[in-house]
Amino acid sequence: MASGNREPFNNTVVEWIDSRMPIFTLLNKEYGVFPVPRNFNYFWNFGAIAGFMLVVMIATGLFLAMHYSADTGLAFNSVERIMRDVNGGWLIRYIHMNGASFFFIAVYIHIFRGMYYGSYKKPRELLWILGALIFLLMMATAFLGYVLPWGQMSLWGATVITGFFTAIPFIGEDIQVWLLGGFAVSNPTLTRFFALHFLLPFVIFAVVFLHIWALHICGSNNPLGIEPKTRQDTLPFHPYYTIKDSFGLLVFVLVYCVFIFYMPDALGHPDNYIQANPMVTPPHIVPEWYFLPFYAILRAITFNMNLYFLLGLVMLLLLLVDFVWRKKPVYLSAAGGLALLVVGGLLVLTGFTGDSCQRIDAQWLEANVGFKNMCGTLQALPGMSAEAAPISAKLGGVLAMFGSVAMLFVLPWLDTHPVRSARYRPLYRVFFLLLVVVFLILGYVGSQPADASVAGVPLILVGLLGTGYYFAYFLVILPLLGRFEKAKPLPESIHDVVLAKQINAETKI
Amino acid sequence: MTAHMHTEHDDDGETRRDFMAILAGAFGAIGAAIAAFPLLNSLSPARDTLALATIEVDLSDIPEGSSKTVMWRGKPVFIRHRTPEQIKAAESVNLQSLIDKQTDEERVKKPEWLVTVGVCTHLGCVPMGQKESDNHGDFGGWFCPCHGSHYDTSGRIRKGPAPKNLTVPPYAFLSDTKIKIG
Ligand code: HEM
Ligand code: FES
C-alpha cells in the first residue's frame, strides 16, 4: 500500500483523501485496472455471487435479530411474529432463509469450478485452503442459524449433530454437555447458538478478505489453466468483468427471487413449523439439503473398524504417502510396494468382512453354508469382536464425515499432476465428472430414511459405495493420475486460443 | 557497553535477550490461556441447570402393557409396565447375541417395571414405542427412527448403529406404586 508512485486524481475531494490515505489508488489497482484473463466463462461468476450473498445474509440477519428473541419460550413465536406482524418481516425472513440455500448453491458451484479447472494448484494452494475454511465456517453458521427458529427440525437436528461429539472416546459425553450448556439441547444452547450465529458471518467476512488478498497476489486461474503471459492475454477488471459479473448476478438473483416470492418453503422442511418438542422426535430427521451428501457419508459407516481393518488402512496409506511424495530415490522398492498393497488390502477386507458377519441375517447364513463357515473362521480371530474395535461404527461415521470435508484442505497435495485444467486431462475429466454425479447421488441417499431401498437395492449400500468412491477419488485416483495421466498438448497462450476461436467463428459466417 | 554485550553471546550466537523474548512470549501465551478459561468455563452447565432435579412418579395409573413418559433433566424417561411375555422375552435372550451385554436383571429393580432414559444412545433421538400404535422395532421394544436402531423389551440395543443399551437412570421405589428418579 505504498503511496510512493501515486497517480494524482482530478477530483479534489478524492485527491485530498487519497494523498492522505491512498484508498482510491488501492481500489483502482485491485478492482479497476487489475489484469484478469480474457477467457473467463460464466463459472467465474460465482465468487462474486457468493460475496453478494454474504452481504445479503448479514444485512437481513441484522434486521431479523432486531425482532428475534433467543429464548426457548419465545423463539418460535417471535419468528411467527416476524412472519405475520412485523412490517415486511416475512420478506426479510424468506430472503434470509432462502439466502442460505442460494449462498450454498453459489459456493458449491464455485468449489466444483475450482476442482474442474485445477485452481487449487500451485501457486493458489493457500487461496484454496482459505476457501475451504470459508466453506467450513458457512456450514457451522448455517447449522447454528437453523436452530434459531426453534421448530422440531431445529431441535432434533441440533440434537443429532451435537450427538456426533459423544462418539469421541472417554470425554465425548462431557464435551457434548459443555457445548450444550445442559444435558439436552435447551435454553442455554439456544442463547449461545444465537450469539455464535451472529458472530461467525463476520469471521467469514474477514476470511473472505484474506481469500481475495491471496487471489490478487497470484491472479485468477482461467478455463485453459495456463498463466497469462502478455498484456494480450488479459483485460482490465473494470469495465469488462464488472459488467459480466453484474449480468451473471442478475440472472442468479432472478432465480433466487422466484424462490423467495413463489416457493419460499420449497427448500425447507415443514416439520420446522411445529414448535420444538423435546418429548417427540419427528419420524424422519433430515438436515438442510446442502448437508445431505455429508450426512449420507456419516450414515454410510455401519461397520466397526477393528484392528485388522485399521492396520490394513495404515499400510495402504503408507504406500500412498510414499507414492505421492517420493521423488527420485525410491523409498520403497516395487516388490515392497506390491507387498504392502496386497497385505494391506487383504487386512482391510478381512477386518471389514469379519465385522460385517455380525450383522448378516442368521437365516440367510444357514442357507449359505459357505459364507457361514467363512464367518465362523473370521469371527474366531482374536480382536474381531465389536467391543475390541478401536473405532466404533459411530465414531467411524463421524470421522468419515469430517474427513470428507478435510479432503478439500489437502487436495492441492493429492493432485500432483502439473496440468491444471480438465480440458487437457481427458481421464481426470471423466473421474471428476463421476465425482460430481456420486456427490449428487450421496445427496439423494442422505435425504432418504436409513432403511430405504430403491429398486431392491438398499440405499445404505449405495451410500457405502458412494463414500468409497468419494475417498478413492481423492486418495487413490488423483495420486495415480498425477503420475500416469498423459495430458493433451497445452496451447501457447490464452490469446492464441481466443483468436483461433474468433477466426473460426468468422469463417463459419 | 558494546564490549559487554558482545561478551554475552554464547557459542551459537544466542543472547540473553533472545532468551528473555522467548520467556516473555511463553508467559504471554500462558496468561492468555488462563484468561480464556473463565470464558470457556462459563459455557458449562450453570448451577440451576445442574441442580439435580429429582422427580417422583406415580405408577398406579400405568396399566400392564403400557408406558408413561416423564421429563427428567430435560430428557424423557420411559417407564414401562411390562407384561409377563415381555419379561420372559427380555430374560431369555442369549447374552452372546447382544451388542452391549447386560442381563435383564441388571437393568430392573422389579421385573414388571422397566425405567430407562428415552434417548437413543446413537445420536440422541427419542425412540418410538411408547404408544401402542408405534413401531416397536424387530424386538418388541423401541425403534429409533433417526438411523434405525432397534431396542428390545429390556431397552437393550439389538440392531442398528447405537452402541449402548438405553441408560437406566438412578431411581428408587418409595412405595409399590411410587418411584423417585434422580
Ligand atoms: C453466513 C451467513 C449466514 C447464513 C449462512 C445464515 C443462515 C441462517 C439459517 C439457515 C437460518 C434459519 C432460517 C429459517 O429456517 O428460518 C438463519 C436464521 C437466522 N439468522 Fe442467519 N445466517 C447468516 C448470517 C446471519 C447474520 C449476520 C445474522 C445477524 C446479524 C443472522 C441472524 C439470524 C436470525 C436472527 C435468525 C432467526 C430468524 C429466522 O429463523 O428466520 N444471520 N440463518
Ligand atoms: S439417533 Fe437413534 S439411531 Fe441414530
**Residue A5 sits in which domain range?**
1-26
Q: How far apart are CA A55 and CA A100, in angstroms?
A: 12
Lowest mean pLDDT of A26-30, A486-490, B19-23, B99-103, name the range. B99-103
User: What pLDDT shows up at residue A325?
Assistant: 67
Most confident of A25-39, A427-441, B137-151: A427-441
Q: How confident is the model over A398-426, as a mean pLDDT?
A: 96
| Residue B152 backbone phi and psi in degrees, to 5 | -90, -170
Beta-carbon-side half-sphere exposure of residue A269 (alpha carbons within 13 Å): 25
Same domain assignment for residues A275 and A315: no
What percent of chain A stands above pLDDT 90?
A: 74
Does A392 reach chain B within 8 Å, measured CB to CB?
A: yes
Does A451 reach chain B within 8 Å, measured CB to CB?
A: yes
pLDDT digits (tens, 9 = 90+) for B3-18: 455 555 556 667 888 9
Beta carbons of A188 and A181 less than 8 angstroms apart: yes
The Cα-based distances of A167 to A159, A244, A396, B71, B161 in angstroms read: 13, 48, 9, 25, 12
Ligand 2 binding pocket includes B147 (Cβ within 6 Å) = yes
Residue A345 lies in a domain: yes
CB contact under 8 A, B146 and A285: yes
Q: Which residue of B has its CA nearest to A161?
A: B123
Same domain assignment for residues A138 and A235: yes
User: What pLDDT shows up at residue A356?
Assistant: 86
Most confident of A353-357, A500-504, B58-62: B58-62
Residue A153 lies in a domain: yes
What percent of chain B stands above pLDDT 70?
A: 92
Q: How confident is the model at residue A157 (pLDDT cuts 50, 70, 90)?
A: very high
Same domain assignment for residues A282 and A349: no
Mutual orientation of helices A426-447 and A89-116 as an angle, nearest 10°? Answer: 150
pLDDT digits (tens, 9 = 90+) for B30-57: 999 999 999 999 999 988 887 767 889 9
User: What pLDDT shows up at residue A432?
Assistant: 98
Same domain assignment for residues A228 and A205: yes
Domain count, chain A: 3
Set of chain A residues whose Cβ sits within 8 Å of the Cβ of B99: 386
Same domain assignment for residues A6 and A66: no
The residue that leads in pLDDT, B25 or A449, is: B25
DSSP B101-155: ---HHHH-SBTTEEEEE-S-TTT----B-SSTTS--TTTEEEEETTTTEEEETTS
User: What pLDDT shows up at residue A2?
Assistant: 47
Residue A159 lies in a domain: yes
Same domain assignment for residues A306 and A282: no
User: What pLDDT shows up at residue A334?
Assistant: 78
User: What pLDDT shows up at residue A63?
Assistant: 98
User: What pLDDT shows up at residue A369?
Assistant: 85
Residue A275 lies in a domain: yes
Q: How confident is the model at residue A386 (pLDDT cuts 50, 70, 90)?
A: confident
User: What pLDDT shows up at residue B8?
Assistant: 52
* CA angle at A420 for the pair A419 and A426, rounded to the nearest 5°: 70
Measured between CA atoms, how close is A487 to chain B, in angstroms? 45
Out of A66, A92, A96, mutate this one to test ligand 1's pocket (max ligand atoms within 8 Å of CB): namely A96
Distance between Cα B49 and ligand 1 center (Å)? 27
CB contact under 8 A, B126 and A280: yes
Q: Where are the alpha helices (DSSP H) in A236-333?
A: 242-262, 292-300, 307-325
C-alpha cell at B123: 445420536
The residue that leads in pLDDT, A429 or A393, is: A429
Same domain assignment for residues A391 and A476: yes
The residue that leads in pLDDT, A328 or A353, is: A353
pLDDT digits (tens, 9 = 90+) for A98-114: 999 999 999 999 999 99
Distance between Cα B6 and ligand 1 center (Å)? 61
The Cβ of residue A208 has, within 10 Å, a number of other Cβ atoms equal to 18
Lowest mean pLDDT of A257-271, A425-439, B53-67, name the range. B53-67
Residue A111 lies in a domain: yes
Residue A385 lies in a domain: yes
User: What pLDDT shows up at residue A3?
Assistant: 47
User: What pLDDT shows up at residue B1?
Assistant: 44
The residue that leads in pLDDT, A457 or A198, is: A198
Beta carbons of B168 and B115 less than 8 angstroms apart: yes
Distance between Cα B147 and ligand 2 center (Å)? 5
Domain boundary residue, one of A227, A261, A286: A286
pLDDT digits (tens, 9 = 90+) for A130-150: 999 999 999 999 999 999 999
DSSP A415-441: ---S---GGG-HHHHHHHHHHHHHHHH
User: What pLDDT shows up at residue A330?
Assistant: 59
Average pLDDT, chain A: 93
What percent of chain B stands above pLDDT 90?
A: 58
Domain boundary residue, one of A228, A258, A286: A286
The Cβ of residue B26 has, within 10 Å, a number of other Cβ atoms equal to 10
Same domain assignment for residues A44 and A150: yes
Q: How confident is the model at residue B101 (pLDDT cuts 50, 70, 90)?
A: confident
Residue A424 lies in a domain: no
Q: How far apart are CA B148 and CA A81, in angstroms?
A: 37
Same domain assignment for residues A179 and A200: yes
Residue A494 lies in a domain: no
- What's the pTM value of the predicted model, to 2 decimals? 0.89
Same domain assignment for residues A217 and A353: no
Same domain assignment for residues A74 and A12: no
Domain boundary residue, one of A224, A258, A286: A286
Does B84 reach chain A within 8 Å, measured CB to CB?
A: no
Ligand 1 binding pocket includes A61 (Cβ within 6 Å) = yes
Q: How confident is the model over A429-454, as a mean pLDDT?
A: 94
| CATH number where A276 lies | 1.20.810.10
Same domain assignment for residues A276 and A331: no
